[in-house]
Chain A
Amino acid sequence: MREITIGQYIPGNSLVHRLDPRTKILVTLAYMILLFALNNFYGYIFPVVFLILATILSRISVRYLLKGLKPLIFIITLTFVLNSFMIKGRVIYELGPLDITYEGLVQGAFMAIRLILLITGTSLLTLTTSPISLTDGIERLLSPFKKVGVPAHELAMMMTIALRFIPTLLEETDKIMKAQMARGADFESGNLINRAKNLVPLLVPLFISAFRRADDLAMAMEARCYRGGENRTRLKELKMTFIDMATFAVFTLFAIGGIASRFL
């Protein structure tokens, strides 16, 4: 549980850290779209170079960045294997009723690279942006849609609170688990269905306590004059600077390069 690096923030003061969260979110979104717009291997040069550049500027260690791939190795391998077998074409190797084709291997590799770039790119965003500025950025980006009924502030507040309570609830899960184990509960043996059943004595107290916490928190927030997003000020105001503009410009160049590669 504690090894997941996706969604973890590494404090720092690099150029990438200092970027406005809105810039980082928008560029990451555009980067994801770009990855899906590419149709050949040459096109990958552009996002790869962009990612390398961003990683160097962020001063995040490459090892740490790649660690984010670990929990997803299975999905990446599965994508590669499935593609290699499923796509019809020139047969390279026969494995019983299954054929590995040249086209399949190429397509599989193409998909795997896309996934790897997708994951590393998005983890770079979360590694360099604190949860608070991330939710702040999302709130600001969504605020134009308030007029059509998108609850931007509420969504951002929900995310903040969720992030705040993840460690608290993990700790609590641990505590309840130990308490139930002391009473003879078994969370580790048996088949899948039995194990799922055994989770009930863990989940029920966890839910009850989560609801009680929610109740307490609501009261504490009201006591601190919380009344929704109206007229609220923020400690840290978001400001787009020259660096943000430059980031957009640089990314646009890479994106144009990527799109152009489609017509090679």
Chain B
Amino acid sequence: MTITAEITAKDVCYQYTNSSALALNNINLTIKPGEFVAIIGPNGSGKSTLAKLFNGIFLPTKGDIFVNGLNTKDKDKIWEIRQKAGMVFQNPDNQIVATIVEEDVAFGPENLGIPPKEIRQRIDEALRTVELTEFANKAPHLLSGGQKQRVAIAGILAMKPDCIILDEPTAMLDPVGRKEVISTVNKLNKQEGKTVVLITHFMQEAVCADRVLVMEKGRIVMEGKPREIFSQVEELKKHGLDVPQVTELAYLLSKENVPLPRDILTVDEMVDCLCQLL
């Protein structure tokens, strides 16, 4: 059987027990194997809640979530689901368990009952992927935020997941750390072929995704390729979101009758287009 969907959400609603409003309202989506999906939305739009439903930390109040064809409500399959869909959280400090980097990366495989020899291999491989091999024996609290977050990613990689869900992994990092983490995430998707779901509120980070979902008040309000989404500057602003700086610049310039395409996403593209104009 070939699996055609990594994650499927069917009519998913979610309500926190102490709130009357729906945090998620009738979400339907499919994430394909190898796809890089970015979910953006303002605070309280339900994007983090959705992420936590993807690996069964929360269970939908209504509807179903399937990971690799397994329902997250199936109690017997929950560990298999969490192994398949690994999750990286916002605060790097609060997800590192051990006092030494390699011990922390080992935590996941240890829980899965992998033999020690293979754990060793997996640690080396995971640390190589996130480029932290030389930090294997360091204490995590001596690392920078970006490095800590990469340790957390390595810890997930060592469980050999098909899909990695990152819940605002860069929200607490400085610009350098942000860059490190995002380039690692790109590498995971492009080189390692992992399915990536990136929750973020930095628009710039969503640019390299295959598909962008925009959420507002528990619903998916826009969906499409980054270029399609970000060219709709007014629509995005209506949902309380920003567009990447260059895109906004292109938008403003074209409003002033400078003949620029509205779907410019990166500085390089902007430079190219401007040079052609001259």
Contacts and interface: CB of A to CB of B under 8 A. Distances in A.
Interface of A: 11, 130-132, 160-161, 163-164, 167-168, 171, 212-213, 216-217, 219-227, 231-237
Given A168-B93, A236-B116, A222 B57 contact: yes
Contacts of A232: 110-111, 113
A115 B109 CA distance: 43
B96 A224 contact: no
A33 to B, nearest CB: 29
Contacts of A220: 87, 89, 94-95, 97, 152
B97 A216 contact: no
Nearest to B155: A224
Contact of A237 (B94, B116, B123): B116
Contacts of A223: 55, 57, 82, 86-87, 89
B106 interface: yes
Interface residues of B, number: 42
Interface string B106-132: 111111111110011001000000000
B54 to A, nearest CB: 10
Given A171-B141, A223-B87, A225-B159, A233 B100 contact: no
Interface of B: 52, 55, 57, 79, 82-83, 86-87, 89, 91, 93-100, 102-103, 106-116, 119-120, 123, 137, 139-141, 152, 155-156, 159
A231 B141 CA distance: 29
B139 A224 contact: no
Given A213-B93, A223-B55, A236-B116, A132 B110 contact: no
Given A171-B141, A224-B159, A216 B95 contact: yes
3 nearest A-B pairs in the assembled complex, by CB-CB distance: A220-B95, A216-B94, A235-B106
B107 A216 contact: no
B127 to A, nearest CB: 13
B114 A164 contact: no
A161 B107 CA distance: 12
A227 B108 CA distance: 11
Contacts of A222: 57, 82
A132 B140 CA distance: 13
A132 B57 contact: no
Given A164-B97, A220-B95, A231-B113, 9 more contacts: A160-B98, A160-B99, A164-B140, A167-B139, A167-B141, A168-B93, A212-B94, A223-B55, A223-B87
